[in-house]
Amino acid sequence: MNIDTIITGGTILTMNPAFEVLEEHAILISSGKITDIIPAIQAQNIPADKTIDAKNCLITPGFINTHSHLPMTYLRGLADDLPLQRWLGEYIWPMEAKLANASFVYDASLHGAAEMIRNGITMTNDMYFHSDESAKALSKAGMRALISKLIINPEGETIDEEIRFLEQMRELYDKDGTITWAIAPHAIYTCSDKIFSTCFDYAKESGTILHTHLSETKQEVDDCRKAHGLSPLFYLKKLGFEKAKCIFAHGVWLNEEEIELLSDTPSAVSICTQSNLKLTSGIAPLMTLSQKGANFAFGTDGVASNNDLDILSEASFTSQLHKTINNKPQFMPAKETLARLTIHGAKALGTDEITGSLEIGKRADLLLINHRNLQSANMYDPYSHLIYAIGKEQISHVMVEGRLLMEQGKLSTLDEEAIIDRAEEYKTMILREIRDVNQK
């Protein structure tokens, strides 16, 4: 068998079920897959098209972002310091109505993809309008993605048109190894009962994942109780969520009973701490999720609310926040935080058979993170250094399906300078278009 790439040396944090850490080993990669992991000395004479020396590097699975709105990169910084409903209703939705056409979504998605690669994100779960354009951009970037067909339909009865589109996309990307599709009713306050139950039926029949926002604000919970006499997850239970595998973004206001219900299902929560804090939506109940055994992983949410895609610092910050609010420093140790960034994220998105850990037979989605610098010298515990000391700037290589998307800190599939120039060109146009939105 021809070996495409050998990564040799370094410290491999496999994130396999035994959490093995391997020193001085070599990862053999062929046709996008990890074909073997052997002592480096045994790999010395194996011919390969490319050899990467991982000396002074941690090698980890790629980070998985379980909730994003990629094209919002162009809206970053246009509306801040507001609560969610005002931020959405008075600023973001009017701006999107004016701006978010197909070419905007493609260009902004390309920008977001480049930024995600720099942040070590190898897979994202994205939800936005014109999702076919985001898919094109992510495919060009070479990233792995679960892309949602977004549905906003508060009065709706049917979603025939959306399902036709989704079927077309699934067919188009059928042979693509990295782009898969989900169905995404936006939230319980933007889609009718009928739409949600049809989506759950579709997800069950087609085996696609259902992606939605849930229990993001207290107002959403209060409104749901008023309208349906139930908390949001019990309302979705009535509409049939247990038929499907769901990824619920936020889950800030889930109560103990709802978490109990969730933990009996394969569904998971995407935790978006910084977006929730900035919009003062609240803090998700990670301790209860953890105690009840419900799966959760990290998401950045869109950069208009985060305002960056630095999922490593998001994970580190989240773990420290929850240690303090629970008065329990043992909660979310560094190793678990990395598991939430990798294998738990893969489980949440239904890709743990092929990604999320470095194991023979899995796809080669991985990062090299250089620790030869002042802030990470004297590395006693690689998990501790990665979560509490290392910054995203130390990520030197990003690989998806055996293909390098970043090598020695340089993007290989996208032209970073051209992407920045394009963003600057859009700035003038965006400012002109939104003048009347901002004057409100």
Q: From the CB of 325, what's the least distance to Zn ion, in Å? A: 23
Quickly list DSSP for 173-184: TTT-SSEEEEEE
Query: According to CB under 5 A, which residues from 289 to 348 bind Zn ion?
Result: 301
Q: What are phi and psi of 218, to 5 degrees?
A: -65, -35
| Closer residue to Zn ion, CB minimum distance, 306 or 357 | 306
| Closer residue to Zn ion, CB minimum distance, 25 or 67 | 67
| Closer residue to Zn ion, CB minimum distance, 54 or 99 | 99
Q: From the CB of 301, what's the least distance to Zn ion, in Å? A: 5
Taking each helix axis as running N to C, give the angle between helix 232-239 and helix 218-228, from 0 to 180 degrees, rounded to the nearest 10.
50
| Closer residue to Zn ion, CB minimum distance, 211 or 344 | 211
Q: From the CB of 270, what's the least distance to Zn ion, in Å? A: 8
Q: From the CB of 277, what's the least distance to Zn ion, in Å? A: 14
Q: From the CB of 213, what's the least distance to Zn ion, in Å? A: 5
| Closer residue to Zn ion, CB minimum distance, 253 or 383 | 253
Q: Indicate the pairing of strand 403-407 with strand 395-400.
A: antiparallel
What's the longest Cα–Cα distance across the chain? Answer: 69
Q: From the CB of 165, what's the least distance to Zn ion, in Å? A: 20
Q: From the CB of 432, what's the least distance to Zn ion, in Å? A: 27
| Closer residue to Zn ion, CB minimum distance, 99 or 214 | 214
Q: From the CB of 332, what's the least distance to Zn ion, in Å? A: 23
What are 363's strand-pairing partners?
Answer: 33
| Closer residue to Zn ion, CB minimum distance, 63 or 383 | 63
Q: From the CB of 13, what's the least distance to Zn ion, in Å? A: 29
| Closer residue to Zn ion, CB minimum distance, 9 or 302 | 302
Question: Can you read off the two tokens belonging to residue 200?
Answer: 């759950």
| Closer residue to Zn ion, CB minimum distance, 248 or 383 | 248
Q: How far apart are CA 122 and CA 416, in angstroms?
A: 17
Site for Zn ion (CB under 5 A): how many residues?
A: 1
Q: Are 67 and 402 in contact (CB under 8 A)?
A: no
SS3 content of the chain, % helix, strand, coil (to 5): 45, 25, 30
Collapse the DSSP code of 297 into the 3-class scheme (helix H, G, I; strand E, B; otherwise coil) and give the result.
Answer: strand
What are 145's strand-pairing partners?
Answer: 124, 179
Dihedral sign computed on CA atoms, order 185, 187, 188, 191: negative
Q: How far apart are CA 330 and CA 172, in angstroms?
A: 47
Q: How far apart are CA 206 and CA 195, in angstroms?
A: 16
Quickly list DSSP for 367-432: EEEE--SGGG-S-S-HHHHHHHT--GGGEEEEEETTEEEEETTEESSS-HHHHHHHHHHHHHHHHH
Site string for Zn ion, 219-258 (x = CB under 5 A): ----------------------------------------
Candidates 398, 423, 394; CA nearest to 411 is: 398
| Closer residue to Zn ion, CB minimum distance, 142 or 302 | 302
| Closer residue to Zn ion, CB minimum distance, 299 or 402 | 299
Collapse the DSSP code of 152 into the 3-class scheme (helix H, G, I; strand E, B; otherwise coil) and give the result.
Answer: coil
Q: From the CB of 113, what's the least distance to Zn ion, in Å? A: 17
Of all residues in this chain, which one has the CB nearest to Zn ion in the complex?
Answer: 301
What are 407's strand-pairing partners?
Answer: 410
Q: From the CB of 124, what's the least distance to Zn ion, in Å? A: 12
- Cα dihedral 40→43→47→50 (10° resolution): -20
Candidates 71, 120, 46; CA nearest to 368 is: 120
Q: What are phi and psi of 246, to 5 degrees?
A: -115, 150
Judged by the rule CB under 5 A, the positions of this chain that interact with Zn ion are: 301
